[in-house]
């Protein structure tokens, strides 16, 4: 097997990339099952596309930040390995598509040269830590949450407690009570707060837990109205440990944290979280909240000659896309990026032209745009001229005209009907028929290609998700219409209500009907969601019902937006969720692997990590033997209990005091060296027992021939 080489200075990252290269080769040779390999590559940002044989690579940008050099590096990588396009996501990531699996280690190594990672961008891990794009410059923020978001990202990256959970886990930091990061819709969402304690200003967070979108949205519980900042990461770790042990693993549709809390209740969940505290390596985690020193653009930067072609659009752009920062004398400017797609060529033009007049800190926004920071007032006309020259000077950022949409059926296995095609059409309707609404930032339109809400339709004032309808024995693309979602503030949100389903080609008429009715019947200064509440869901059902009449369908209704061929549903296997591994040999291999990782951790004094790897060895080994006996396993907690019932109590495996007592020592001891080494040895002994039992069972099952 030819070895892969990198030129990286970070040995941990280099080892990770070399390991990926080895696993790809083993997979191609048939030595790693597809289910196991899928789980492994997802945790490294490699996601199967709708198109066979190619991958989508998700690039993880904590809180959406990238330097100009990182932006250039990502562009170079897209040119070399992809199709010269960057797709900005609602999780503040960048995705590139149509990548060969064999080239992903090389691609990753190129990204890491500028400290850009794909590690844990997909899979059952802590996903990208998001934050309000204004963080650090927000006039309303009590303090900059950026250092805290960054510390959280780094603490949980490669952390053994969250490498193989039942489902993904999402964390968000809002910059103020306006909650522009939607803390209420995350597994853990936080909002910065300041309290006076003994005459001193103490930083902390309102902490919300157990929110989520998907097909069944849930609003988060308030865990703390105020949690001191140095307790935040320990608390998140407690939550993750409970989620890892008690979370569902068999049914992916019930495996998010919100379902665990719903199942056992908030009080029991809170009790379990508190039980984990003793095992933490850091009971207090102090984060240096000092704001990063920003290299300011030159006041007298030498700029090339420029002109503004459309002065009227410039004034609209200043009104809708520009705001004054908390730092007086500086402005920030948003860039509307249609459907989140920007070419590498345009990216390079912007980097080169804007470098003299912006900070070296560009943010990917949660509505698929970009934010430029620290612009001097005198440079705003030049910035606009640069954007105008490349076609990205449209006003109306984050307005009703700035529609959020996931890739949908363009590349995603789960897409049911087109989201990008209908989004482009709806933006055209607003531009052509309702041009004044470019100033309306009350109404948000969000579109997903399926019910899973990657386009965040569940928290939109006007939301759509892809669906299908049957008529005359034929299938046509459809849109589920949802209304009334959005942000209330301070951790309170609204989930949109499902109202009606219509053929996709009637989506523009849905929008026209809603906007015309609101214009005709809305009260003065009434917000759209207040109007929705006042009229009631039934009112809007009746308003839109004529658009559901299938007796008037035309041939074009059976063709989805952006397509020429007749529509047919082609839903593949989604990869956002966990993969159930039911191969005994693979599970035992995983147990052995985690044992090796535990030894590595102990060797460098990382006792807490070593303990958790040992814990995982116990669980994986037990799961392997249980599955070998036909016992289904859906949570780690269940595995621990079932192993006592089916193996210890029956005398198949001898463990003095019982398996649960042995394994759950993890919560009875501080993560000190002596316990770490003892626990690791116990895990190693158990693994030997499990292997011996499995080998004996396999031998007994082999028929004897003469």
Distance in angstroms (rounded) separating the CA atoms of residues 421 and 466: 11
Q: Is the per-residue pLDDT at 67 higher than 90? A: yes
Average pLDDT estimate for 298-326: 96
pTM score of the predicted model: 0.93
**Domains of the chain from N-terminus onward:** 11-112 (3.90.480.20), 130-279 (3.30.413.10), 311-390 (3.30.70.3340), 404-558 (3.30.413.10), 584-701 (1.20.120.330)
Please tell me the predicted confidence (pLDDT) of residue 7. 74
pLDDT digits (tens, 9 = 90+) for 315-370: 999 999 999 999 999 999 999 999 999 999 999 999 999 999 999 999 999 999 99
Secondary structure of residue 224 in the 3-state scheme: strand
Beta-carbon contacts of residue 678 (< 8 Å; ≥ 6 apart): none
- β-bridge partners, 375: 331
Q: For residue 532, what are its two tokens?
A: 């929705």
pLDDT band per the 50, 70, 90 thresholds, residue 5: low
Q: How far apart are CA 419 and CA 417, in angstroms?
A: 6
Q: Region 483-503: what's the mean pLDDT?
A: 97
* Rounded Cα distance, 496 and 215, in Å: 12
* pLDDT tier, 581 (very low <50, low <70, confident <90, very high otherwise): very low
Mean pLDDT, rounded, for 106-134: 97
Q: Which of 291-300, 428-437, 503-512 has the lowest mean pLDDT?
A: 291-300
- The predicted pLDDT at position 4 comes to 61
Per-residue model confidence as pLDDT tens digits over 559-577: 999 888 888 876 554 555 4
For the stretch 311-317, contacts whose Cβ atoms lie closer than 8 Å and that sit 24 or more positions apart, written own/partner, are 313/388, 313/393, 313/394, 313/395, 314/381, 314/384, 314/388, 314/393, 316/395, 316/396, 316/438, 316/439, 317/384, 317/387, 317/393, 317/394, 317/395
Q: Give Cα 593 distance to the centre of its chain.
A: 27
CA 641 to chain centre: 32
Cα–Cα dist 351/66, whole Å? 12
As given in the structure block, the two tokens for residue 110 are 């190129």
Q: Residue 124's pLDDT is what?
A: 94
The β-bridge relationship of strands 130-131 and 94-99 is: unpaired
pLDDT band at residue 250 using 50, 70 and 90 as cut-offs: confident
CA 32 from chain centre, in angstroms, equals 27
- The pLDDT of residue 190 is 98
Average pLDDT of every residue of the chain:
93
- Position 570 scores a pLDDT of 62
pLDDT tens digits, one per residue of 183-239: 999 999 999 999 998 889 999 999 999 999 988 899 999 999 999 999 999 999 999
Q: How far apart are CA 569 and CA 557, in angstroms?
A: 14
What is the arithmetic mean of pLDDT over 642-667?
97
Rounded mean pLDDT, 580-600: 80
pLDDT of residue 583: 59
pLDDT of residue 223: 98
Strand ranges (E), 538-647: none
CB 85 within 8 A of CB 59: no
Give the pLDDT confidence score for residue 39 in this predicted structure. Answer: 84
Give the pLDDT of residue 705: 41
The arithmetic mean of pLDDT across residues 604-609, rounded, is 97
Contact 88, 107 (CB under 8 A): no
pLDDT at 571: 54
Pairwise pLDDT comparison (576 vs 685), residue with the higher score: 685
Residue 587 pLDDT class (50, 70, 90 cuts): confident
Least confident range from 59-63, 547-551, 573-577, 672-676: namely 573-577
Percent of the chain with pLDDT over 90: 84
Residue 413 pLDDT exceeds 80:
no
Q: Are 204 and 227 in contact (CB under 8 A)?
A: yes
Separation between Cα atoms, residue 372 and residue 360, nearest integer Å: 9
Residue 32 backbone phi and psi in degrees, to 5: -125, 125
Q: Are 60 and 120 in contact (CB under 8 A)?
A: yes
DSSP 3-state assignment of 574? Answer: coil
Give the residue among 204, 279, 287, 217 at the shortest CA–CA distance from 244. Answer: 279
Instruction: Give residue 452's pLDDT.
Output: 86
Secondary structure of 138-160 as H, E, C letters: CCCCCCCCHHHHHHHHHHHCCCH
10 Å Cβ neighbour count for 98? 16
What is the distance between the terminal CA atoms of the chain, rounded to a whole angstrom?
A: 39
> Closest Cα to residue 426, out of 339, 341, 486?
339
Which residues are bridge partners to 447 per DSSP?
405, 464
Q: Residues 395-418: what's their mean pLDDT?
A: 89
| Better pLDDT: 700 or 164 | 164
CA distances from 318 to 31, 93, 334, 404 (A): 58, 26, 10, 21
HSE-up of 62 (CA within 13 Å, CB side)? 18
108 pLDDT higher than 90:
yes
């Amino acid at each position: 097997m030819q070895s892969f080489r990198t030129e990286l200075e970070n040995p941990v990252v280099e080892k990770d990339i070399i390991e990926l290269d080895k696993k790809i080769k083993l997979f191609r040779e048939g030595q790693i099952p597809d289910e196991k390999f899928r789980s492994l590559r997802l945790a490294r940002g490699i996601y199967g596309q709708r198109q066979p044989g190619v991958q989508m690579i998700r690039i993880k940008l904590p809180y959406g930040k990238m330097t100009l050099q990182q932006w250039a590096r990502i562009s170079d990588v897209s040119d070399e390995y992809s199709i010269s396009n960057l797709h900005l996501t609602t999780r503040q990531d960048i995705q590139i598509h149509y990548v060969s699996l064999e080239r992903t280690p090389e691609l990753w190594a190129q990204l890491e040269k500028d400290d850009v990672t794909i590690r844990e961008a997909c899979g059952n891990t802590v996903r990208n830590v998001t934050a309000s794009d204004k963080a650090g410059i927000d006039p309303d923020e009590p303090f900059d949450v950026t250092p805290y978001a960054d510390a959280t990202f780094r603490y949980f990256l490669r952390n053994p407690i969250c490498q193989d959970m039942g489902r993904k886990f999402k964390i968000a930091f809002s910059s103020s009570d306006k909650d522009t990061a939607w803390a209420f819709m995350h597994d853990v969402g936080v909002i910065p707060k300041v309290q006076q304690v003994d005459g001193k200003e103490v930083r902390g967070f309102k902490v919300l837990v157990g929110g989520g979108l998907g097909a069944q949205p849930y609003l988060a519980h308030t865990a703390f109205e105020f949690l001191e900042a140095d307790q935040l990461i320990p608390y998140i770790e407690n939550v993750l440990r409970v989620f890892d042990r008690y979370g569902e693993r068999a049914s992916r549709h019930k495996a998010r944290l919100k379902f665990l809390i719903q199942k056992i209740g908030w009080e029991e969940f809170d009790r379990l979280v508190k039980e984990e505290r003793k095992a933490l390596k850091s009971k207090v985690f102090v984060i240096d909240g000092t704001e990063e020193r920003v290299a300011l653009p030159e006041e007298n930067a030498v700029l090339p000659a420029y002109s503004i072609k459309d002065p009227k659009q410039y004034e609209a752009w200043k009104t809708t896309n520009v705001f004054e920062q908390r730092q007086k004398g500086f402005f920030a400017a948003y860039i509307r990026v249609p459907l989140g797609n920007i070419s590498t060529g345009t990216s390079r033009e912007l980097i080169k032209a804007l470098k003299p007049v912006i900070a070296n800190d560009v943010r990917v926004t949660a509505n698929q745009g970009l934010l430029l920071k620290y612009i001097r007032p005198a440079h705003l006309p030049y910035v606009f001229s640069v954007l105008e020259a490349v076609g990205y000077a449209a006003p109306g950022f984050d307005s009703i005209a700035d529609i959020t949409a996931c890739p949908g059926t363009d590349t995603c296995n789960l897409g049911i009907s087109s989201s990008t095609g209908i989004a482009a059409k709806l933006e055209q309707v607003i531009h052509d028929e309702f041009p004044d609404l470019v100033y309306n930032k009350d109404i948000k339109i969000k579109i997903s290609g399926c019910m899973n809400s990657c386009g965040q339709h569940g928290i939109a004032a006007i939301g759509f998700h892809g669906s299908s309808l049957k008529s005359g024995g034929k299938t046509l693309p459809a849109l589920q219409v949802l209304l009334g979602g959005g942000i209330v503030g301070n951790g309170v949100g609204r989930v949109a209500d499902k109202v009606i389903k219509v053929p996709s080609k009637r989506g523009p008429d849905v929008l026209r009907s809603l906007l015309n009715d609101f214009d005709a019947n809305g009260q003065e200064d009434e917000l759209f969601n207040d109007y929705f509440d006042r009229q009631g869901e039934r009112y809007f059902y009746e308003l839109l019902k004529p658009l559901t009449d299938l007796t008037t369908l035309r041939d074009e209704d059976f063709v989805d937006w952006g397509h020429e061929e007749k529509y047919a549903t082609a839903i593949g296997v989604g990869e956002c969720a966990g993969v159930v591994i039911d191969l005994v040999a693979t599970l035992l291999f995983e147990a052995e692997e985690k044992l090796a990782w535990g030894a590595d951790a102990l060797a460098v004094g990382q006792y807490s990590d070593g303990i958790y790897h040992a814990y995982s060895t116990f669980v994986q080994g037990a799961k392997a033997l249980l599955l070998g006996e036909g016992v289904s396993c859906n949570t780690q907690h269940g595995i621990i209990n079932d192993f006592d019932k089916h193996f210890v109590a029956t005398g198949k495996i001898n463990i003095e005091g019982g398996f649960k007592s042995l394994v759950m020592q993890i919560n009875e001891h501080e993560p000190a060296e002596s316990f770490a080494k003892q626990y690791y040895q116990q895990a190693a002994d158990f693994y030997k027992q499990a292997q011996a039992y499995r080998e004996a069972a396999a031998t007994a099952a082999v028929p004897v021939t003469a």
